Amino acid sequence: MIGRARFAFTMLGFGYAFLYLPLALVMFYSFNESRMVTVWGGFSTKWWSALFANEAMLRAAWLSLRIAAVSATLAAVIGLAAGYALARARNFPGRSLFGSLVIAPMVMPEVVMGISMLLLFVGSERLFGGPDRGFLTITLAHVTFSISFVAIIVQARLADFDRSLEEAAMDLGATPWVTFRTVTLPLIAPTVGSGWLLAFTLSLDDLILTQFVAGAQSQTLPMRVYSSVRLGVDPQINVLATVVVMVAACALVLSGWLTRRKA
């Protein structure tokens, strides 16, 4: 038992090194004087100034942040409904189809979702003359795959939820909607909050789906990053990576704090 646990802990240490060493090196080389990302040429912050003066990159980041905020909010609402329905409505026509629809986007290869959503938008353009491809279509696409992630954590939270409080409220004459609003929702709000954060991150990070549905005018941050990395390593991307890792660490601490508050 002890011997095996020691092996497991060694692997855990190795796993952490494997996960973090590449990121640490990327962050380290964001302070490199040299243009070559793999040759150390002394300490410099010039790539930091370059990134924050990079208009195209900043515009892309701003677009991505707006899309992420809107799509995360929509996904949190719809995902909450989906998770609630899965946890509480045991029998309704089409329940198994509903279950599949909620889970499938989570694992569906993104190229498949990308082409299918683009064809939907092209079809609706022909039939109804819209929507124009850009902010709206990207947001709709992001909502669609984020719903699953919110729904699954909401469903898991509701599965170990103490229902006696809800029952008490109902016994005292509260309607199901009032019970949900005053008892259930406040209790699962932290879960919905971390679901929102997850949806926000997923949206901010998505490349493939976005590339399919974006149209010619809009360029999100991942699209911008991708078109730059394709040509090889670029010190400005190292700077961006450093910023992203820091923000993600903060977001995760925040989300951990939100979930722990439920206890």
- Minimum Å gap between C-beta 135 and other proteins is 16
- Per DSSP, the three-state class of 94 is coil
**Does residue 151 touch other proteins according to CB under 8 A?**
yes
**Does residue 213 touch other proteins according to CB under 8 A?**
no
Q: Report cis status (omega within 30 of 0) of the bond before 131.
A: yes
- Minimum Å gap between C-beta 91 and other proteins is 11
Written as one string, the DSSP assignment of 129-185 is --PPTTHHHHHHHHHHHHHHHHHHHHHHHHHT--THHHHHHHHTT--HHHHIIIIIH
Distance, CA of 73 to CA of 142 (rounded, Å): 11
Closest listed residue to residue 215, CA positions, set 141, 135, 153, 160:
135
- Per DSSP, the three-state class of 225 is helix
Nearer to other proteins, 59 or 115 (CB): 115
Give residues 49-78 in contact with other proteins (rule: CB under 8 A): 78
Beta-carbon contacts of residue 22 (< 8 Å; ≥ 6 apart): none
Of 33-41, 49-57, 127-135, 164-172, the window that binds other proteins (rule: CB under 8 A) is 33-41
Nearer to other proteins, 23 or 165 (CB): 23
**Does residue 99 touch other proteins according to CB under 8 A?**
yes
**Does residue 129 touch other proteins according to CB under 8 A?**
no
Of 21-29, 50-58, 165-173, 185-193, the window that binds other proteins (rule: CB under 8 A) is 21-29
Distances (CA, A) of 176 to 69, 173, 182: 30, 9, 10
Distance, CA of 134 to CA of 198 (rounded, Å): 22
Of 48-56, 110-118, 165-173, 181-189, the window that binds other proteins (rule: CB under 8 A) is 110-118
- Minimum Å gap between C-beta 126 and other proteins is 8
Beta-carbon contacts of residue 214 (< 8 Å; ≥ 6 apart): 133, 134, 137, 138, 220, 223
**Does residue 19 touch other proteins according to CB under 8 A?**
yes
**Does residue 82 touch other proteins according to CB under 8 A?**
yes
- Residue owning tokens 């450093």: 242
- Minimum Å gap between C-beta 59 and other proteins is 18
Give residues 172-211 in contact with other proteins (rule: CB under 8 A): 176, 201, 204-205, 207-208, 211
